[in-house]
Structure 1
Amino acid sequence: MADQSLKAHWRCLLACFLLCLSPLQYGLDFGLIGGFQAMPCFLEVYGYRDPNPMNPLGWNLTTVVQQLISSLMTIGAFAGSLGAGPMSVYLGRKPCVWIACVLCCASNAIMQGTTSIGALYVGRTLIGISNGFFMTFGQLYIQEVIPARYRGASIASFNVFTSLGALVGTVVDNFTAKMQDKQCYRVPLSVIYAVPAIIFVCLFFIPESPRYLVSKGKFEQARKGLVWLRPTGSNIEAEILSIEEAARLDKEMSESTGWLDLVRRPLDRKRTMLAVGAVTTQAASGAFFMIAYGTYFFEMAGVGNAFENSCILSGVGVAAILFCVAIMPRFGRRRRFLTTSLIICGITQLIVAVVYTKRDKNNPEMTGKLIVAFSIIYIVAYNGGMSSFAWVVGGELPRQSLRSYTFGAAAGVGFLGAWLAAFTAPYFINPASLNWGPQYGYIWFPSCLLAAAFVFFFIPETKDRTLEEINELFEAGVPARKWAGYRTSTPSSSIQEKPLPATANTIEGGAIGKPIADASVEMVEDVVHHDHHHGGRRSLEQV
């Protein structure tokens, strides 16, 4: 049995850690831009003087400008995610991340060097495209190289860096907001260069995804990459044979790879809808409203120090995801975490809306404390369950040959939902428009409940399943509610670590009478080799 310890997989985890830095820039962007909209010096350049006594800043952005500054980045991310499918198929995972690094630095330079609103819009769009690349290609790589046991925790770590970036951005804004010139926002933008520079250089030292290389017929390169990623003594040959067999069957199912293939076969159509739905639950939770406009929201609601409150939220968010990373390998049930966290997100936003509606205008301090308190509960639920598990499931469910297309489409639709939230939010919270403030939560409460119902009834449990096992479960037509207890033809890591009774599920022709957990390496290879000559994988009962 292969060593499943963290120490044994240190090189693979190191490669995944590097790709986990990708969303750090994404989080930085959200944290920084959210704070800029509450900086008088930034508002003087891109906004107008606002005599409205309800505006404590004295300056404001028009609703349209506020919409575009936040939503153009999301539109760019949407375009970048949709482009991930064809780009990844032809270029691979690593080259696309290099492109994202270059594009990120170029777009950031535009935003630093301009005072033109048009040029700012261009910079926001381009950095959005790079963010779409970072979020999609980084997660694709991790999904394909990490052992099943650590996949959930690795993608959760991916989200740790999103929240960490948002925290760093908010803290930097808090210190530079006191500057009385354009440096108040130009200095924070300089921080963005660090992430793409580190990733660009370190990518030279890690291998391309072995699953991608197998899909392109580069078997020797795939084997070398797997040897680098896996510890000494791991069952490299059995794993590479399993990947090759899955790729062969995948190719037999569909001779082409393109957008239409996502919906051509009923099963691929189902997998696409589930992946898209899983990722879109993030937008349905209303999180992007809080992420994009948190500081501005607190400022206009008159809830204490807006920058300090945003720092608190970001810090709590990081702690929540770290807790999620720690418990996910052992308790990482996708459906349970997603459903519970969505319900909590909905209830907390409803409470915040009710508290603000029934507020005592003679005691604004108490109202402010309650809003911040329930906002903290919301961010714990979102970061501790929603954000991590939604991306994990969205990346696990697609078929291998269509993974970049399906996950790109899922990320794209997710970003489209985020754009919708970012684009419409100013109409509700800006004093120059509806001025709802925290009452905006009334809209997100039913949205969260609908998303929770979707997860509960349709999303299958994928904990500790390899990507090949997930493919087998779909092909076997196993209902979502029965995934957790279903035995596939290849034992998962969870089964390997918990040996079965000697009377259950033996395999003929190799280790007669042995339980699956104790089957030898040679036996697993025999099963894969035998299936290769009989047209595909079989269930345990057939083997």
Structure 2
Amino acid sequence: MESMEKSVDTEGVRQIPSLNDTGRMQDIGEESRRATELEHRMSFKQGLKLYPKALGWSSFFSLGIIMASFDPQLLGSLYATPAFQKDFGILFNGGYIITASWQTALGMGNPLGQIVGALLAGYPLEWYGRKKTFGVSVIGTSAFIFNQFFARSLPVLLVGELIGGLILGMYVTIAPTYASEVVPIALRGHLTAFINLCFVIGQLLANGVIAETSQLNNHWAYSAPFALQWLWPAIILLGLPFAPESPWWLVRKQRYEDAETSLNRLSSSSVNNKLTLAIMIETDRLEYEMETGTAYLDCFKKVNLRRTEISIGVFVIQALSGIYLINYATLFFQLAGLDTRQSFDMSVGLLAVGFVGTCIAWCLLSVWGRRRIYNIGLALMTVVMFAIGFLDLAPDYLNKKGDIWAECILMMIWNLLFNISVGPICYTFISEVSATKLRTKTIAIATATQAVFAIGMTVGIPYMINPDQGNWRGKMGFFFGGLSVVSLVWCWYRIPETQGRTYEELNLMFERKVKTRAFKNYKVV
């Protein structure tokens, strides 16, 4: 890859030709083919060396995901915080609890926000670009935190969660879109998978903070964690003016000189980005000829429907397999039989394991690809969920500490497997299978659909898990295990292997209706 600059003549692609100029477009097509060959030959280490700035800016845009995951995890942990229970809850069996109905209402903020926020994000992302949309969203986040910080009643807190959730939902569309558009093939899977790590970091920080502040007996037990959320907007707003815009967005706006400038800012000086620009123009031209479209309805046209289905499916499976149970991890551990301190410590450990899992996924991505990691991981998660369910059937369960600890440890193993497979690989898939013209809208639709299922889980889990309702405890493993079996069957027949493919190649493969299991070895001519 170090010889990339030697592979292009000095004339390069200085003036981008019109799509109507056949001769010049043939030149662009040749440059595109040469760029594709170079991308295929690039190793992960070479990618790190040539694109360190792209790595940094992609990670920077993913900071929004930390905010998006911190808030719901914080809220779920507060349900087990004594000061929060006392100030916002009701008396039950000599103690205080937050009722299932209020847990459901408060938990609606994030999934409802993902539905509305993700779909709304598709418009400004295309009109104004990734950078401006991200900046306005961060400013909005800063404002809604005031509502949470000063809330002293559940209705006021509910308003803050609902309004804030609208903005937080936008980050789930912004981050994978930007990450997939600023790095080469060699880094694309790792940077999109990094989004899952940001989810874990947000959850880990929330549980870590609550593990300490939960010992306080006044409002600072929950006000301090809310205030901590202002840290991320401050960091982002300081760095955002220096961030480069997505070159793919600039190409679609026919701002070719700006796109090349952006590419130069994202790569090292040894990279000749005229070739990279050529492949972007060629891909954009191909999608124009395929009538890919740019509207939400175009995602459901025959040429795009399969891609939209895959994006929705891999994202929805996160909810179906049980990830929203993690938001109630502290409460789950309490109801399983651990004391308050042990429950908070286990929750922190649970998320630390998730962090390790995503790092393992980075190593596996270069060896196994996407499809194998996703399917094997989901299969193992299904087995663990059923094991949790069967453990809870043990006679006199609450008096058997060994069974209680075994159930909690299995929950940690499940989370490790999720963050190796279904968690991070989902964001890689939704970024790679979507057409470049429809990427923001396809990701938005997938995010919104997943959020619909999340609402179902947000409504159902409190009633399944709360002691004044279903009190299922570990029997929830049967529920999520059963849903995982159905999901696994769909995955086997519908998820293709996208590793090592340029967006142009993926366009051609989907247009030619290549069978799912033929994707891996298919030769694009």
DSSP-derived class of the 2:50 partner: coil
Q: Does 1:292 align with 2:334?
A: no
User: Partner residue of 1:47?
Assistant: 89
Aligned to 1:11: 53
Q: 1:301 corresponds to which residue?
A: 336
Corresponding position: 1:257 with 2:299: no
Q: Determine if contact 1:356/1:439 at 8 Å carries over to the other structure.
A: yes
Equivalent residues of 1:103, 1:126 under 8 A apart: no
Q: Aligned partner of 2:335: which letter?
A: M
Unaligned runs of 5+ in 1: 53-57, 489-538
Q: Contact (CA 8 Å) 2:292, 2:437: kept in 1 or not?
A: no
Return the alpha-carbon distance in structure 1 between the equivalents of residues 147 and 278 of structure 2: 48
Taking structure 1 as the reference length, the TM-score comes to: 0.86
Identity across aligned pairs (percent)?
26
Q: Report the secondary structure of 1:207's partner residue.
A: coil
SS in 2 for 1:477: coil
> Whole-Å Cα distance in 1 between the matches of residues 309 and 194 of structure 2?
25
Structure 1 residue 173, shift from structure 2 partner: 0.4
Q: Does 1:351 align with 2:387?
A: yes
1:99-153 deviations in whole A, cap 9, x for unaligned?
Answer: 2211211111101112132221121112222221112101100011111111111
Equivalent in the alignment of 1:374: 410
The equivalent position to 2:177 in structure 1, one of 137, 140, 145, is 140
Secondary structure class of the residue paired with 2:108: helix
Q: Matches of 1:348 and 1:140 in 2, distance apart? A: 32
CA contact (8 A) 1:86 1:258 kept: no
After the TM superposition, list the runs of 4 or more consecutive aligned residues in structure 1 that deviate by more than 4 angstroms.
none
**Counterpart AA for 1:414:** Q
Q: How does 1:102-121 map to 2 (within 5 A)?
A: 102-121=139-158
Stretches of structure 2 that go unaligned for 5 or more consecutive residues are 5-41
**TM value normalised by structure 2:** 0.88
Contact 2:112 2:165 (8 Å CA) reproduced: yes
Map 1:483-498 → 2, pairs under 5 A: 483-488=519-524
Name the CA shift for 1:362/1:318 in 2 (closer, same or farther; >3 Å): closer
Match runs of 1:122-271 below 5 Å: 122-254=159-291, 256-264=293-301, 266-271=302-307
Count matched residues. 481
1:357-368 aligned at under 5 Å gives the runs: 357-361=393-397, 363-368=399-404
Task: Kindly indicate whether the alpha-carbon contact (under 8 Å) linking 1:340 and 1:452 is maintained by their aligned counterparts in 2.
Answer: no
Report the secondary structure of 1:7's partner residue.
helix
Do the aligned residues in 2 keep the contact of 1:164 with 1:318 (CA within 8 Å)?
yes
1:520: which partner in 2? none
Question: What letter is aligned with 2:369?
Answer: R
Report the CA distance shift for 1:252/1:155 in structure 2 as closer, same or farther (over 3 A).
same
Question: How far is the alpha carbon of 1:14 from its aligned partner?
Answer: 1.0
Separation in 2 of the partners of 1:66 and 1:107?
A: 20
In the TM superposition, what are the counterparts of 1:375-414 in structure 2 within 5 Å?
375-414=411-450
Aligned partners of 1:11, 1:211: CA distance in 2, in Å? Answer: 16
The residue type equivalent to 1:69 in the other structure is L
Equivalent residue number for residue 442 of structure 1: 478
Query: What is the CA–CA distance in structure 2 between the aligned matches of 1:362 and 1:393, rounded to whole Å?
Result: 42
* RMSD of aligned alpha carbons: 1.6
Shift of 1:20: 2.4
Q: Match of 1:339?
A: 375
Distance in 2 between residues matched to 1:5 and 1:131, nearest whole Å: 31
Structure 2 match to 1:433: 469
Deviations 1:484-507 (A, max 9, x none): 11223xxxxxxxxxxxxxxxxxxx
SS at match of 2:48: coil
Partner AA of 2:274 in structure 1: E
Which residue is 2:133 aligned to?
96
Partner of 2:310: helix, strand, or coil? helix
Looking at structure 2, the residues matched to 354 and 104 of structure 1 have their Cα atoms a distance apart, in angstroms, of: 42
Deviation of 1:447 (Å): 0.9
SS at match of 2:421: helix
**Alignment correspondent of 1:318:** 355
